[in-house]
Chains A and B, each alone.
Chain A
Amino acid sequence: MRSTPELDARAGLTKLAGYPYQIATWVDDTGYPVSVAVEAVVDPTTGTATFAAPVGLVVPDDRDVSLTGTHIRPQPGYGYDERRHVTVWGRAAVGEHAVTLTGRSAWGWDEAEVPFFEYSERSLPQSRKYFDALSAERGTPVKPRLSFGFLTLRTTRLPFLTATIVPVVLGILIAASHGSFDLVAAALTIIGASFVQLGLNVANDVFDTVQGADDANVTPTQFSGGSRVIQYGLVTLRQMATLATVFYVLAGVIGLVLLATHGSPALLVIGVVGFIVSLGYTAPPLKFVYRGLGEIAVALGFGPLMLLGAYVVQTGGALAWEPFVASIPVALLVALILYVNEIPDRRGDARVGKRTLPVRFSQTAVITGYRVVAAAAFVAVVVGVVAGILPVPTLLMLLTIPLALQVSRGLEPNYDNPYGLMAVMGTNVQLHLRAGLLLLAGYVVVLILGAVAPGLDLFVG
Chain B
Amino acid sequence: MATIPAPVAELLERALVAELTVVDAAGRPVTYPLIPLYDGEHVYMTSSTLFSRKLEHIDANPRVSVSITDPVAVDGRLDRATIQGDARVIAEDPHGGWERLLPIWEAKEPSIVLFLKARVALPLFFERALIEITPRRVLYWADGQAQTAPAVTVIGEEAA
Contacts and interface: CB of A to CB of B under 8 A. Distances in A.
Contacts of B3: none
Contacts of B125: 120
A21 B69 contact: yes
Interface centre among A57, A73, A234 (most CB of B within 10 A): A57
A117 B48 CA distance: 13
Contacts of A154: 120, 123
Interface in B102-133: 109-112, 119-125, 127
B99 interface: no
B72 A73 contact: yes
B6 interface: no
B23 A27 contact: yes
A187 interface: no
B122 A117 contact: yes
A64 to B, nearest CB: 5
Nearest to A24: B146
A250 interface: no
Contact of B49 (A35, A66, A131): A131
B33 A83 contact: yes
B136 interface: yes
B33 A234 contact: no
A181 interface: no
A227 B28 CA distance: 39
Interface string B19-44: 10111001111111100000000000
Interface in B59-76: 61, 63-65, 67, 69-70, 72-73
Contact of B50 (A2, A34, A70, A123): A123
Contacts of B51: 3, 123, 126
Nearest to B86: A32
Interface string A409-452: 00000000000000000000000000000000000000000000
B33 A72 contact: yes
A326 B147 CA distance: 78
Interface residues of B, number: 60
A33 B121 CA distance: 36
A144 B16 contact: no
B19 A70 contact: yes
Contact of B65 (A35, A51, A80, A146): A35
B95 A145 contact: yes
A219 B69 CA distance: 33
A72 B70 contact: yes
A150 to B, nearest CB: 4
Contact of A144 (B27, B110, B127): B127
Contact of B31 (A56, A80, A87): A87
Interface string A104-136: 000000000000010010011011011101100
A52 B147 contact: yes
Nearest to B26: A64
A77 B30 CA distance: 30
A117 B91 CA distance: 24
A57 B50 contact: no
B69 A124 contact: no
Contacts of A74: 16, 72-73
A68 B137 contact: no
Contact of B73 (A2, A56, A63, A72): A72
B4 interface: no
Given A33-B22, A70-B19, 7 more contacts: A25-B29, A27-B23, A35-B19, A35-B67, A64-B29, A80-B109, A85-B33
30 contacts: A23-B19, A31-B63, A32-B63, A33-B29, A35-B31, A35-B69, A54-B146, A55-B149, A66-B29, A66-B31, A70-B19, A72-B33, A72-B70, A74-B73, A78-B109, A78-B111, A80-B109, A85-B31, A85-B33, A87-B30, A117-B122, A126-B50, A127-B127, A129-B52, A131-B94, A144-B49, A144-B95, A145-B95, A150-B119, A232-B124
Closest 8 CB pairs of A and B: A56-B149, A33-B21, A150-B120, A54-B146, A123-B50, A32-B84, A35-B67, A33-B65
